[in-house]
Amino acid sequence: MGHSSLEGQYSHSSSLVDNVRFSQQAPIILGAKATSAKINLLPAQQEDPGHYVLLEQLFLSCLQTGDDKSALQCLELLSDRFGPSNERTSGLYGIYEEAVAKGHDGLEKCLQKYDSILSENPVNLPILKRRVAILRSMSKPVEAISSLVEIIKAIPTDAEAWCELADLYMTQGMAHQATFCLEESLLIAANAWNIHARLGEVLYICARSGDETSGQYLVRSIRCFCRSIELCDDYLRGFYGLVMATLPLLDGRQGDTGFKISAAQWENTVPAATISKLHIFAKRRLEHIIEQRSSNHQLWESCQGEIIAAKELLDSLRDTT
């Protein structure tokens, strides 16, 4: 994928393989930190802000792979520099405490701690967000949603919070609210192709409801996937979604997909011929991407799951035809 290679080798990605590899470098990175504490004569050779970003990513990767000791070391380096009262370090400290907390009681304790921090400074954004996350992991989605709504009321320009709210709504099956939230986050970051693709997926789910508007939802979903393809070259998720979303609108394929959509619902917006062309294009492109990435070892490792899923989709389509 275009964006994953752009983020460089040091990033906290969603791929577990990358995270394991990154956290294995922890001793090297942390060791280098310890020896480089020589005297700086000229203040021009000051600290590089990138180091601290790197430390933060390393911290997250270490926690995810269970290396709590290195994570704590990263955290100490960060709080040495920025002070434990800094909002972002306190948020990271919260993550650490949640990670090592034992059982439900431990999480409850973290929650109380957050509440006491928030009573001092009610606009501590990282802690506010941690509070939502902890409520979510304690499986209290309703409380999580209501406190996230409070955050968004105060800080409506945070795309991350809108996306999280959309995700929470989706867990509750409230797809229409999720659509609204995703649109809101797209208003903040208009060119985020992954959010476009996510919106397409949510709209696709909306279309499954099977009432008279579902055709329109499906057309909107197709458009979102098209946009994500337009914004990002070879975006596998976008092509996958496009194949899925165009499938129910093809002639004679309705029965396979479980959609109940009559042609009258959508045919005045997009001609049927265009839909079938899009479907063919997406399918061919998907085949090409799979072929390309399976042969390249590095690409294959970074997005194994996606490629396997895409392969399965294409195989199932081939079986039915």
Contact of 195 with 178, CB cutoff 8 Å: no
Longest dimension (CA), the chain: 76
CB of 218: closest distance to other proteins in angstroms? 13
Q: Does 307 bind other proteins (CB under 8 A)?
A: no
CB of 4: closest distance to other proteins in angstroms? 20
Q: Does 278 bind other proteins (CB under 8 A)?
A: yes
Taking the C-alpha atoms of residue 196 and residue 253, their distance in angstroms, rounded to an integer, is 26
Q: Which is nearer to other proteins, 22 or 225 (CB)?
A: 225
CB of 105: closest distance to other proteins in angstroms? 29
Selected binder of other proteins within 6, 44, 315, 319 (CB under 8 A): 44
Stretch that binds other proteins, among 25-33, 58-66, 223-231, 311-319 (CB under 8 A): 223-231
Q: What are phi and psi of 191, to 5 degrees?
A: -105, 20
Give DSSP secondary structure letters for 29-95.
HHHHHHHT----SSTTS---HHHHHHHHHHHHHHHHTT-HHHHHHHHHHHHHHH-TTSHHHHHHHHH
Q: What are phi and psi of 313, to 5 degrees?
A: -60, -50
Q: Which is nearer to other proteins, 20 or 118 (CB)?
A: 118
Q: Does 229 bind other proteins (CB under 8 A)?
A: yes
**Site size toward other proteins, by CB under 8 A:** 50
Q: What are phi and psi of 100, to 5 degrees?
A: -95, 0
Contact of 275 with 267, CB cutoff 8 Å: no
Selected binder of other proteins within 209, 288, 308, 312 (CB under 8 A): 288
Q: Does 43 bind other proteins (CB under 8 A)?
A: yes
Q: Does 74 bind other proteins (CB under 8 A)?
A: no
Distances (CA, A) of 14 to 11, 38, 44, 160, 234: 9, 36, 36, 15, 19
Sequence-ordered list of residues with C-beta below 8 angstroms from that of 61, at least 6 positions apart, any chain:
12, 19, 20, 22, 23, 26
Q: Does 183 bind other proteins (CB under 8 A)?
A: yes
CB of 121: closest distance to other proteins in angstroms? 8
Report the interface residues with other proteins, using CB under 8 A: 42-47, 49, 52, 82, 86-88, 121-126, 150, 153-158, 180, 183, 186-188, 190-191, 220, 222-224, 226-227, 229-230, 270, 274-275, 277-278, 280-281, 284-285, 288
